[in-house]
Amino acid sequence: MPKNLDFGIVNYNGGSELLKCIQTIRELRDVNTNIFIFDNASTDNSISIAKNTFSDCTFIESKKNIGYAGACNALIPHLTTEIIVLCNMDLEFHKDWGKQVLNCFKDHIEAASISTAVYDKETLRLYSGGVFFFYDLYPLSSEKLLSQDYPYNVFGSYGAIMTFRKDVFNKIGTFDEDYFLFFEETEFYLRMNMNGLKTMYCPTAKVFHHRSISTIRYSPLKLFYSERNRILTAFKYLPLFYFPFVFPFSVIRFLIMAKSSGIPGSDGQGKRINKQAIILTIVKAWFEAFYKIPREWKKRQAIWKHTKYSPLDTLTLIKKYPLSFSDLKIK
């Protein structure tokens, strides 16, 4: 197993967090790293500072924001090592992260990607023990298996940090750029699973995440794209007879989550939000998803044409990684 890793960082107004991310990658032990930074038309000075600080990195600057999926796709051709990493700019890596990841690939040859242990930087809470699903295809990084300290199969990885064998993209294509923000990784891992490609969780590979820096936690922007793209994904991957049930299950999910956590009075930047604004955002997201269904129909046909699996296997998959009603309650 080679000791070389190419990193592709997607930056949008990363500020000092981008510098910390680059520095911790450079400090990884027992691996050789090449770092590529794609700037998604940032309005701060993060890229200019990074250029002056890290002259050995490669910087790719976009004149417009093409979203996370588009940025990842733009980075992929530049990443040439056998194992590649795509990540947010607001991460800090443990010094042994690279060594642990490469060892996991070596020990699990069948793995097409590795999911790593992501900690919330503010609370130091470990929350990435694999992705699980509610009945409406709502994904959540659950703590169900976090007590296990050895690698095991999971659905997919947390989107802020994804590590792949490079040939995965030759086998199943790249990220769906129509998603712009959110759910692009879930759609991609669904495609991986429906092509028989496996992801292993590596609990010894640790990374710390400053969550929702660029999109702002609880923001209508985040809610809109996550809901719209979830509906589009459900249409592409679930059996058509099941698709109508997605909506009542979604309403149930929202009620459970709102009751357990309450509706925040403001987003992460202090802007006021209320129940009416949230409902309108959800309705807008669902309507736009329906508007795009004719386009998604062609994608659905292409997905199932090139695999031995069927939409019924998607139901089997999400039943393998289930979220219960109690799992939705915010702790």
What residues contact 136, with CB distance under 8 A and at least 6 apart?
A: 230, 234, 245, 246, 247, 249, 250, 253
- Look at residue 52 and tell me whether its pLDDT is greater than 70: yes
Token duo for residue 120? 């919330």
- Look at residue 330 and tell me whether its pLDDT is greater than 70: no
- Look at residue 211 and tell me whether its pLDDT is greater than 70: no
Total Cβ atoms within 10 A of residue 291: 10
Distance between CA atoms of residues 138 and 330, nearest Å: 14
β-partners of residue 266 are: 272
Q: For residue 154, give the H/E element and its range.
A: strand 152-154
With a pLDDT cut of 70, the percent of the chain lying above it is 90
Checking DSSP bridges between strand 111-120 and strand 161-165, what pairing results, if any?
A: antiparallel
* Confidence (pLDDT) at 122: 80
Model confidence pLDDT, tens digit, residues 213-268: 544 445 788 889 999 999 999 999 999 999 999 999 999 998 888 787 655 554 44
pTM here is 0.91
Q: Which residue has the tokens 């929350």?
A: 127
- Predicted confidence band of residue 6 (pLDDT cuts 50, 70, 90): very high
- Look at residue 131 and tell me whether its pLDDT is greater than 90: no
Question: Mean pLDDT across the stretch 142-162?
Answer: 78
* Domains of the chain, CATH where assigned: 4-209 (3.90.550.10), 220-328 (no CATH)
* Confidence (pLDDT) at 275: 77
Token duo for residue 94? 């443990």
Dihedral sign from CA coordinates of 269, 70, 291, 188: negative
Total Cβ atoms within 10 A of residue 25: 24
Q: Which of 39-43, 45-49, 277-281, 286-290 has the lowest mean pLDDT?
A: 277-281
